[in-house]
Amino acid sequence: MLMFSIQNNLKKCFYLGLFLCTLIVVYLAYYGYIYDDQDSPYNALLKHMSKNKTGMTVTSKPVPKSSKLINKNILKEKIKQGLPSWAMEQIEEDLSNFPKINQNDLDKYFKENNDSKNQLARFQIKNGRVKVYGAAHSSIAITVNNGERIVYKNPSYAIIHDVIEYLAQNRYIPDTDFIVGLYDYLTIPSKKPAPIFTFSKDITVPGEKDLILIPDWMNLRSVRGLSTRMKLANRQYPWKNKQKKLFWRGLQWSDSTGFRKKIAELSRSYPELIDAKFTDRKDLVPFVKPEEHLKYKYLIAIDGLHCTWERFVWHLHSNSMVFKNKSSQIQWFYKGIKPYVHYVPVNDEKSLLDKINWAELNPDKVQSIITNALHFANQNLGLEDMYHYYIVLIQEYTKRLTKDTTRKG
């Protein structure tokens, strides 16, 4: 009888522990190392501000480290398999303008382009140790709508430094010397190509089109949590239960192409087909969590200040079909995705209505696109994939450096 009681209690403890672990996993996936805002990190940061003694607002929430979430076995397997052909093609294309890079080149580029807008940081690695120059941009001051001046730790610097430090300490990358632009995009005054790493670029802009793409800090920060949340939402909102609408929420202030405004206007004319609204203007509506977007059949990724950042990635992880506005702004993985294979391209706001009608008339093709997008995202847009891309890029880049690459710039 006593033995039965002990076994019964142990069984209860086991299931209680399992239940608590499940709650913890869901909590971390939902609220942990994830995503605060659809477009801009600044809105998210405002939620975590506090006043210091001088009255200046400073951030209080630490920037999470993606390296803590890396699965070494998965990364090792990725490295063994090698990068997919589209990724190698992007790296080779980006480096094609730089058959040789020497220390004087880097000195010059860093001096000429390191202003407050570009926010450059120069990483030099020797024997697994990282030194950074130009890290004044590890803190940034911004002015918000009420005129208040805010100083916060630059999350892009913290996250990229974490990635580079992890790769250097674990000897995934060799001794090297490179420059990273910490801003969303770079403005290079010279038309001469500069070997600077950037999160995005416009392939039609001289001086910008020849920059070297890297996975952006926002996806590095959020992809693990967001992809987990998408998996849960995919089960919660199966296709048969989705609303027959295109859904979008976002910010107008970062509408660099004007396409967001046009979609919002189209929504007012065709509310039965499109629900698109701004969360920061006169038609203010509440923020909608990414997983709640999956209540709808169709989503659209529209460029913000520059590119779509996390949005396109978590869209591809979803079980809704993705539309994407035609744009010359690109990110590191764009060579791997194909129109009508992984998403449906939209040339302008007028053609969007036709594309929605096309999707309604071609359910089999739509399901094929969704399946392809999910497969691509699962195979190529995970955290280990992004680290792997950094490894191969930096290795290939370093092959072009001359020997004298470790002195201070």
Rounded distance between C-alpha atoms, residue 268 and residue 264, angstroms: 7
Q: What is the mean pLDDT of residues 270-274?
A: 97
* Identity at 120, one-letter amino acid code: L
Give the pairing type, strands 212-213 and 149-153.
unpaired
Structural domain spans, the chain: 41-218+388-398, 226-383
**pLDDT value of position 288:** 94
Q: What is the mean pLDDT of residues 83-91?
A: 98
Please state, for a pLDDT cut of 90, what percent of the chain lies above it.
59
For residue 33, name the pLDDT band (cuts at 50, 70, 90). Answer: very low
Whether 6 shows a pLDDT value over 90: the answer reads no
**pLDDT value of position 93:** 97
For 226-383, the fitting CATH number among 2.40.50.140, 3.40.50.2000, 3.30.360.10, 3.60.70.12 is 3.40.50.2000
> Between the CA of residue 199 and those of 22, 51, 132, 236, 313, what are the distances in Å?
35, 31, 18, 33, 14
Residue 387 and residue 347 in contact, taking contact as beta carbons nearer than 8 Å: no
Q: What is the mean pLDDT of residues 89-99?
A: 96
Rounded distance between C-alpha atoms, residue 157 and residue 148, angstroms: 23
Q: What is the mean pLDDT of residues 251-263?
A: 86
**pLDDT value of position 39:** 39
Rounded distance between C-alpha atoms, residue 258 and residue 374, angstroms: 29
Residue 396 and residue 95 in contact, taking contact as beta carbons nearer than 8 Å: yes
For the stretch 108-117, pLDDT in tens is 888 887 776 6
Give the pairing type, strands 212-213 and 196-198.
parallel
Q: What is the mean pLDDT of residues 32-47?
A: 40
**Helix-helix angle 217-236:383-398, to 10 degrees:** 150
Q: Given 3-state DSSP classes, what are the helix, strand and coil percentages for the chain, each rounded to the nearest 5?
A: 45, 20, 35
DSSP result, 265-315: HHHHH-TTTEEEEESSSTT------GGGGGGEEEEEE---SSS-THHHHHH
Q: What is the mean pLDDT of residues 192-221?
A: 91
* Phi, psi for residue 45 in degrees, rounded to 5: -65, -35
Scanning the structure block, which residue is given the tokens 């058959």? 99
Whether 365 shows a pLDDT value over 90: the answer reads yes
For the stretch 12-21, pLDDT in tens is 555 555 555 5
Highest average pLDDT, of 161-170, 281-290, 301-310, comes from: 161-170
User: Does 407 or 199 have the greater pLDDT score?
Assistant: 199
User: Does 193 or 282 have the greater pLDDT score?
Assistant: 193
Whether 25 shows a pLDDT value over 50: the answer reads no
Listed range (116-120, 201-205, 249-253, 288-292) with the worst mean pLDDT: 116-120
Averaged pLDDT of the chain: 83
For residue 334, name the pLDDT band (cuts at 50, 70, 90). Answer: very high
User: Does 280 or 87 have the greater pLDDT score?
Assistant: 87
The CA dihedral of 28, 32, 36, 38, to the nearest 10 degrees, is -50
Rounded distance between C-alpha atoms, residue 121 and residue 358, angstroms: 47
**pLDDT value of position 407:** 52
For residue 238, name the pLDDT band (cuts at 50, 70, 90). Answer: very high
Whether 42 shows a pLDDT value over 60: the answer reads no
